[in-house]
Structure 1
Amino acid sequence: MKRLLTLWLACLSLSLQAQDQQAQIAARATAISAKLIEWRRHLHEHPELSNREVKTAAYIADHLKKLGIEVQTGVAKTGVVGLLKGGKPGPVVALRADMDALPVKERVDIPFKSIATADYLGQTVPVMHACGHDSHVAILMATAEVLASMKKDIPGTVKFIFQPAEEGPPGDEEGGAPLMVKEGVMDNPKVDAVFGLHISSSVEAGSIRYKAGATMASSDWFTIAIKGKQAHGSTPWNSVDPIVTGTQIIEGLQTIVSRQSNIVEAPVVITVGKFHSGVRSNIIPEEALLEGTIRTLDSRMQKDVHERIRKTAVKIAESAGAVATVTIDNKTLVTFNDSALVKKMIPSLQKAAGEGRTGTMNWVTGAEDFSFYGTKAPAFFFYLGGMPKGNDPQKAPGHHTPDFYIDDSELYVGVKAFCNIVFDYAKLSVK
């Protein structure tokens, strides 16, 4: 009886400690909300393109150093990595935020509107945080501050990964998560689990959405170079028209989705985004170039779609007397959430947002290079809502558009989620 009483008291003590810890996280995350919003708006007003996040990186590094966190800069060109060693033994948990903006001109009339410009592949372009990476950075900066204030209670080590070039490095440069991984961000110390979040303009502010398994699509970029025969526009019978051949190839590619792929099994998207050919209206050119993207959520289907694209383009070109050369470049993998990890961490998300505001989502055909971290450790990537309450999700301005907008009043929910994850994962990993 005495032994049972001792065990009961020990369990009660642990339960009370957990409740106190959760209350501390909630209080500190709420208290830092004003600073979080200030950081986010500063970053929004001063965006930088992929692999050019120099001032953003300095802003982050300065903050982490003031917190007494060990800081490494220049990772994968402009990345910043912070290491916080807790006061108790435990696992290494990585938390990731992406830093880069996009070549988009902001149309939203807000006090901190971006009017920045930058060089992009030799052209001067407007720059905007049109995907919410400013929010991701601010959330992780706030998370670092909260966890630093609780350092003695943290079981294990927290690695803060501030990643450049998630949107893709310019030209032929290396960058993003693949380069972070290549340079050892998941090692020294070796990461046991990695977590990330993404703001969503179509999910109500403060709500969290997640999915186990395949969550976001792989992203492959393709080019189809078509070689025909040039002729005068008045005598098309003397040509092998690469423009007509290109349009037939585009139509053929769409049948891969509509007639050849089992989209009940997993979604497939093939989009041609560029068509370059010709220099003058009365000349049928010799060459045409198609460029596009492929999105799949299943590795087997990905391989199958690649083969069908090659076959479709080559055979259609042959039927016209032209030659098609297909090149496919894999940019990101399928973002895959480890099912066991998701199951364990759902309560952490519910503590942050509330059970009523935490739920599942469908898979997304957008892509994320967070997927590369998942090749090194179990990974979990979830969504945090940023849509003003009462708005219609169907009318919410999309990501990567000039009208992209988020309500930043509940970004602190992301801080609570990350902090709860750090403590809860440590408890669950020792069981």
Structure 2
Amino acid sequence: MRHSPLAVALCLSLSTSAMAAEPATTALVEARMEQITSIRRDLHEHPELSNREIRTAKVVATELKRLGYEVSTGIAHTGVVGILKGGKPGPKLVIRADMDGLPVTEEVDLPFASKAKGEYQGKEVGVMHACGHDVHTASTLGVASALASLQKDLPGEVMMIFQPAEEGPPAGEEGGAPLMVKEGVFKNFKPDALFGMHVTSMYHVGTVALRPGGIMASSDTFRMVVHGRQTHGATPWKGIDPIVAGADIVMSAQSIVSRRMDINKDPVVLTFGIFDGGQRFNIVPDSATLQGTLRAFDVGMRDQALADLRLVAEHVAAAHGATIDLEVPVEDAANPVNYNDPALTADVTASLVKVLGKDSVLVADRWTASEDFPQLGISVSAPSVYFFVGGTPKDQDTSTVPFNHSPRFFVDEGALRTGTEAMLQASLDFLGYSAP
């Protein structure tokens, strides 16, 4: 895999001591690999949809209780929180893992492939861990186990958050990180930092990737209803055509990114994913509905793009004689930029290099997908770091393998070891642990 000059410079700037191997972390993880792998395979075979992670939550809660954590369940429907208080004073750290699967029918030939079914939007669907949340949960339980074994000499406190509904709650329900915050997950625990990770096919197994600043985009959903006046398709001049007006809005909105955004600074992505209008080929309908998403890495550019989208939609509709109802953005359907605190990112990078070696710690490309993880840190004004864990086998091309959310998404189980070692080392160093 090609490394950017920034990655090389970042690694070379680290001290010699930071590059030294840390056998204690490796040994702690190695002793738990059989159990971590077993948990992951069990979760992979039995995935559950968002806000329905009942079995998964029971597996997590049972393991945390066995390890001696103070466990709370039922947060944001099925969320599980475990708190471990170290034997020495120190900072408070949150480690978060997501638990939900996707409405995807698995097509990977594995002995533990999912055959699970669930209900999504009123239909029976296959369910699969097509985004690797089984890996996140199993690895984080491995970290929880290792930390528990060091409890007597561990500084500070650790909160392990196992979050439901990262992929988004079902229609008409609340869920995910926003609901955990709303229900007071941090009422009695004020973290000094938050860590999260995500396995992805973008990188080879054995590697991790991170960057300071925005690593994943904000995500805003928008909805527009264009109101015209229904008439016969043979006499469109007797009505107002919302389909033509809507089509003009779609095309005019493309200039927001290409002509109004300073893309030298950061990228912005505007996508219309739904255009729904009309019932019959020869009738100009009364209305048409447009829905889509806006992605950005800069808060100011995000706000400007949303304002410009409202402006374009209103004026183009008016130019056609139509009216428009706007939800730009749709309330409670947004994720902020997943922002890595630069100073904390430098510290975490040093920890990852320590345990994995400098050639295995890459500078991540920005990913225009979004996450609700930053909702947690924003709610308590605490810095956070989020890193990617490579899951593609070393002999395969990361540009051609099935990507996250594919029914053929495959994770090399070596990612379990890499993710667990990386998160454990970053956590121990942040807490200030030193072996007795």
Shared fold (TM-score, shorter chain, > 0.5): yes
Tell me the equivalent position of 1:372: 375
Shift of 1:187: 4.0
Instruction: List per-residue Cα deviations over 1:152-202 (Å, max 9, x = no partner).
Output: 121111111000111111112111111112223234222111100000112
Shift of 1:86: 1.4
Tell me the equivalent position of 1:196: 196
Q: Does 1:302 align with 2:307?
A: no
Q: Does 1:424 align with 2:429?
A: yes
Q: Which whole-Å CA distance do the structure 1 matches of 2:202 and 2:341 have between them?
A: 25
Q: Which whole-Å CA distance do the structure 2 matches of 1:410 and 1:222 have between them?
A: 36
Match of 1:351 among 354, 375, 388: 354
Q: AA paired with 2:397?
A: D
Tell me the equivalent position of 2:6: none
Q: Does 1:131 align with 2:131?
A: yes
- What stretches of structure 1 move > 3 A for 4+ residues in a row? none
Q: Secondary structure of the equivalent of 1:312?
A: helix
Match of 2:411 among 401, 406, 415: 406
* 5+ long unaligned stretches in structure 1: 1-14
Residues 205 and 391 in structure 2, CA contact (< 8 A), matched pair in contact too: yes
Q: Which whole-Å CA distance do the structure 2 matches of 1:319 and 1:410 have between them?
A: 54
Shift of 1:121: 2.8
Q: Secondary structure of the equivalent of 1:225?
A: strand
Q: Which whole-Å CA distance do the structure 1 matches of 2:193 and 2:26 have between them?
A: 23
Residues 25 and 355 in structure 2, CA contact (< 8 A), matched pair in contact too: no
Instruction: List per-residue Cα deviations over 1:327-386 (Å, max 9, x = no partner).
Output: 112511111111111112212111232211002112221111111122121100011100
Q: Which whole-Å CA distance do the structure 1 matches of 2:35 and 2:355 have between them?
A: 19
Q: Which whole-Å CA distance do the structure 2 matches of 1:152 and 1:49 have between them?
A: 37
Tell me the equivalent position of 1:107: 107
Match of 1:339 among 325, 338, 342: 342
Shift of 1:109: 2.1
Q: Which whole-Å CA distance do the structure 1 matches of 2:293 and 2:272 have between them?
A: 7
Residues 389 and 415 in structure 2, CA contact (< 8 A), matched pair in contact too: no
Residues 206 and 411 in structure 1, CA contact (< 8 A), matched pair in contact too: no
Q: Which whole-Å CA distance do the structure 1 matches of 2:100 and 2:163 have between them?
A: 8
Residues 199 and 415 in structure 2, CA contact (< 8 A), matched pair in contact too: no
Q: AA paired with 1:27?
A: A
Moved more, 387-396 or 401-410: 401-410
Q: Secondary structure of the equivalent of 1:58?
A: helix
Q: Which whole-Å CA distance do the structure 2 matches of 1:138 and 1:319 have between them?
A: 55
Q: AA paired with 1:218?
A: S
Q: Which whole-Å CA distance do the structure 1 matches of 2:206 and 2:335 have between them?
A: 28
How many residues were matched structurally?
413
Q: AA paired with 2:394?
A: K
Tell me the equivalent position of 2:213: 213
Q: Does 1:148 align with 2:148?
A: yes
Q: Secondary structure of the equivalent of 2:387?
A: strand
* 5+ long unaligned stretches in structure 2: 1-15
Moved more, 99-108 or 161-170: 99-108
Q: Secondary structure of the equivalent of 1:365?
A: coil
Q: TM-score, normalised by structure 1?
A: 0.92
Instruction: List per-residue Cα deviations over 1:299-326 (Å, max 9, x = no partner).
Output: 1111110111111111111111111222
Shift of 1:293: 0.6
Residues 227 and 324 in structure 1, CA contact (< 8 A), matched pair in contact too: yes
Q: Does 1:384 align with 2:384?
A: no
Q: Which whole-Å CA distance do the structure 1 matches of 2:392 and 2:202 have between them?
A: 5
Moved more, 378-387 or 414-423: 414-423
Shift of 1:427: 2.4
Tell me the equivalent position of 2:227: 227
Q: Does 1:43 align with 2:43?
A: yes
Tell me the equivalent position of 1:6: none
Residues 108 and 407 in structure 2, CA contact (< 8 A), matched pair in contact too: yes
Residues 46 and 116 in structure 2, CA contact (< 8 A), matched pair in contact too: yes
Q: Which whole-Å CA distance do the structure 2 matches of 1:195 and 1:119 have between them?
A: 32
Aligned-CA RMSD value: 2.0
Tell me the equivalent position of 1:7: none
Q: Which whole-Å CA distance do the structure 1 matches of 2:136 and 2:174 have between them?
A: 22
Tell me the equivalent position of 1:291: 291
Q: AA paired with 2:425?
A: N
Q: TM-score, normalised by structure 2?
A: 0.91
Q: Which whole-Å CA distance do the structure 1 matches of 2:115 and 2:236 have between them?
A: 48
How high is the sequence identity, in percent, across the aligned residues?
A: 46
Q: AA paired with 1:360?
A: V
Q: AA paired with 1:107?
A: E
Tell me the equivalent position of 1:394: 399
Residues 213 and 340 in structure 2, CA contact (< 8 A), matched pair in contact too: yes
